[in-house]
Structures are given as structure tokens and as C-alpha cells.
Structure 1
Amino acid sequence: MTQRTEHSTVMDRLAIEDLVTGYAATVDDGDWPGYLALFSRDGRADYRSAGGIEGTVEEVAVWLAQVLRLFAIRQHLIVNRRITFDSRDGSPGDTATVQADYLNPMQLAGPDPDTAGPAAPNYTCGGRYHFTARRTPDGWRLTGVVVDEKWREVLTPDNA
């Protein structure tokens, strides 16, 4: 690899890291236009392992907006990111996969979330994301995300 190729690969990795971080931030903040902007036009998402749906990114964004209203606080922690680029003549190509573990503590919304003060999370789940990404004229974009939820814990007043 030449120094120019190595520099380009580092820049591509940073751009993909930004996509994954942007994914977490937009979901946690309920920024659905921002969420959609992270994906290619043909982007798809699959949340079935977490009890959700699979479909176009537009369909999934609508579903997420409805479901996540149940949670007053959301925080994705995405770690152990493994980025793999396709290879083109020995150099990184224009598509990549990312495998990343997640921990997602959330707080279920109460009857009046506007007056509720901060509280500890009472719903936590964890698992692994499988992202796919493609270089586009507008930069790297996600083409897909598959959630592989491995566990969840819901604390009630009885077991908190």
C-alpha cells in the first residue's frame, strides 16, 4: 500500500466511524431527518430480533419514531467496531461492513414525562449491529443495518 492509499483508508475509516456515531445520536435524539440522511436511497434496516420490523429506511424511521416515544431517555453505546472494506486490486474498495456491539440503557416514560425528573434506566438491552456502507458521491452512506439483540432487562418497581 502506498502512503496515499493508507491515508485514504484512514479517512474512510473515520467517515464510517462518523456514520455509526451519527446513527446512535440520531436514534437517541429522535432526529429522524438526520437518521434518514445517514443512509443511501436504497437503505434498509432490520430490527426483527429486537421485536421490530424490517423494511426500507423510511418505513423503519416511522416505526422507530412511534416505538421510541415509550422511552423518555435513550442512550446507545456502540463499541468494539470492526470495519472491513471490500478489496479492489489490493486496495480498499467502495463498500464496507461494520460489526459493532451495543449497550442501550433507556428509561421508560412515565404518565407525565414533562414533570418527571431524571431517573436511572429501567430498560436495558445489548447485542450486535451489522452495518453495511457504500461510498457515494455525497460520501459514505449506510446501505443497511441489522440488529442482533442478544439480551434485555426490564426493571420494574418490584425488582429495581
Structure 2
Amino acid sequence: MTQRVELATVMDRLAVDGLITEYAVTVDDGDWEAYRELFTPDGHADYRSAGGIEGDAAQVAEWLTQTMERFPMRQHLIVNRRVRFGPLEHDTGDTAQVRADYVNPMRFAGHDGDSSAPDFVCGGRYEFTLLRTDNGWRLREVVVHEKWRQASRTRQEPAAT
């Protein structure tokens, strides 16, 4: 590999990492317009394993708008990112596959407890398919593979003795 190719690969990795981070931030902040802009025109997402829907970016953004109202506090942590670049029409580096694990603590709306612990936490793995476009890297597909979830138990009064 030449230095030029190595530098281009590093720059692509940074751009891909930035896009994945932007994805997490737009969901956590509820910026659904920015969420849609992260996708290619034919981009879609599949949240079925987490009880959601599959559809194009606009459909999924609309579903997220309604669903995430229940969780005003959310914080995606996307880690262990594995990036693989691939060819598109015989030009290497125009596509990327990213597999990354996530943990997502959330708080239900109307939570009136004094605990700072989240009410709901889920985790699993994302599969992102990215495409290099004239506007930079964009998401072509997002697939969520939820592996676990945990809801906090309601606090119970101690039993009378």
C-alpha cells in the first residue's frame, strides 16, 4: 500500500466513525430531520428486532418521532466498531460495512423517582451499510439486532414485620 492509499483509508475510517457517531447523536437528541439526512435517497432501517418497524428513512424517522416521545432521556453508546471497506462497480473503498455493539439507557417520560438510574436499558449490535456519495459517506441500511433489554423494577416498600 502506498502512503497515499493508507492516508485515504485513515480519512475514510474517520469519516465513517463520524457518521456512526452522528447517527447516535441524532437519535438521542431527537433530531429526525438530521436523521433522515444521514441516509442515501434509497436508504432504509430495520428496527424489528427491537419491536420496531422496517422502512425507508422517512418512515422510520416518523416512527421514531412518535416512539421516542416515551423516552425523553436516551444515550446510545456505540462501541467495538468493525469497519470493512468494499468495492462498488470495481472501485475499491466506495462501500463500507460496520458492525458495532450498542448499549442504550433510557428514562421513561414522567419518571418521578429520585434515582438517577435509567428505567430501561437495551443492548445489541448494529449492522450499518454505508455508501460514499458526492456528499460524503451516507447510510444505505441500518439493521438493529437487539440482544437484551432490562426494565428497572418499581421500588417496593419493605414488608411490615
Normalising by structure 1, we get a TM-score of: 0.91
- Which residue does 1:136 correspond to in 2? 133
The residue type equivalent to 1:85 in the other structure is: F
> What is the SS of the residue equivalent to 1:61?
helix
Matches within 5 A, 1:115-154: 119-154=116-151
Mean alpha-carbon deviation: is it higher for 79-88 or for 30-39? 79-88
Post-superposition offset of 1:26: 0.2
> What is the SS of the residue equivalent to 1:8?
helix
Post-superposition offset of 1:54: 0.2
Post-superposition offset of 1:119: 3.1
Post-superposition offset of 1:92: 3.8
The residue type equivalent to 2:149 in the other structure is: R
Please say if residues 9 and 92 of structure 1, whose CA atoms lie closer than 8 Å, have aligned partners that are also in contact: no
Closer, same or farther: CA 118–33 of 1 in aligned 2, 3 Å: farther
- Which residue does 2:102 correspond to in 1? 102
Q: Deviations over 1:125-153 (max 9, x none)?
A: 00000000000001100101000000000
The residue type equivalent to 1:156 in the other structure is: R
> What is the SS of the residue equivalent to 1:16?
helix
Please say if residues 79 and 101 of structure 1, whose CA atoms lie closer than 8 Å, have aligned partners that are also in contact: yes
Structure 2's unaligned 5+ residue stretches are 157-161
Structure 1's unaligned 5+ residue stretches are none
Mean alpha-carbon deviation: is it higher for 54-63 or for 103-112? 103-112
> What is the SS of the residue equivalent to 1:55?
strand
Tell me how large the CA RMSD over aligned residues is.
Answer: 2.1
CA distance in 2, matches of 1:103, 1:153: 11
- Which residue does 1:43 correspond to in 2? 43
- Which residue does 2:52 correspond to in 1? 52
| Alignment of 1:82 onto 2:54 | no
> What is the SS of the residue equivalent to 1:82?
strand
| Number of corresponding residues | 156
Instruction: Give identity over the alignment, percent.
Output: 59
CA distance in 2, matches of 1:92, 1:125: 35
Post-superposition offset of 1:93: 1.9
> What is the SS of the residue equivalent to 2:110?
coil
Q: Deviations over 1:65-99 (max 9, x none)?
A: 100000120000000000000147x9842001000
Which of structures 1 and 2 has the bigger CA Rg?
2
Please say if residues 44 and 57 of structure 1, whose CA atoms lie closer than 8 Å, have aligned partners that are also in contact: yes
The residue type equivalent to 1:121 in the other structure is: P
- Which residue does 1:14 correspond to in 2? 14
